[in-house]
Amino acid sequence: MQNRALSIFHDEHRSLGAVLHGLRFLVREAREKGSELDFKLLWAMLYYMDAFSRRLHDPREEAVLFARLHERTSEADATIALLTQQHAESAAHLAQLEQLLGRVEAGVPGSLEAFASAVEAHAEAAHQHMQLEEKTIIPLAKKTLTAEDWDEIAAVFAGKDDPRFGPKPEHEFRDLFSRIVNLAPPPIGVGPAR
């Protein structure tokens, strides 16, 4: 079950990373090459990053992975506290991105630069956060957690043991991710070229 749990965990990181990469790419293209922004796509990306992290990924990590690790060892306590704080801060950063995107869409002078800077800062923070989880928490979890812990983690990450994470949220986010890929132009998606 450890492999199943970690596969889901890494898949979630990959999907978040892909959307972050796409957002950075689109904003850089607009800023550096004057490409027209697709606001429908940008809003979908921000919604996905916020809702997927806040409603599905982060609560799963905190409810089972971090909790089981905390029960087995104190070695990760400071890192878990930092990661949990970063989960909370991420929601505030995404709210700021939404506000800034609204200003860009409204045509406020200088707003694209402010939005682009905020996107870069958020993407870098998210990348560092995921790296900390993957390079510190996961190796410690592999070393410390029991088979029963991994069974529980796999069940929750697969959406089977906790009604908050059942098939409906999974389906909703899969559909939204597909929509983003279909709206995004190459090379980040399969939508129409701009």
pLDDT of residue 179: 72
8 A C-beta contact, residue 137 and residue 83? yes
pLDDT of residue 191: 59
Confidence (pTM): 0.84
pLDDT of residue 187: 72
- Best CA proximity match to 5, nearest among 126, 156, 148: 156
Rounded (10°) angle between helices 39-51 and 2-33: 150
- Best CA proximity match to 40, nearest among 189, 174, 169: 189
pLDDT of residue 82: 97
pLDDT of residue 65: 96
CATH for 2-183?
A: 1.20.120.520
8 A C-beta contact, residue 26 and residue 37? yes
- Kindly write down the DSSP assignment for every residue of 49-69, as one continuous string: HHHIIIIIIHHHIIIIIIHHH
pLDDT of residue 62: 95
The domain spans of the chain are: 2-183
Please give the chain's pLDDT, 194 residues, in tens. 889 999 989 988 988 998 999 999 999 999 999 999 999 999 999 999 998 888 888 999 999 999 999 999 999 999 999 999 999 999 999 999 999 999 999 999 999 999 999 999 999 999 999 999 999 999 999 999 999 999 999 988 887 544 344 445 566 767 767 777 766 767 766 556 65
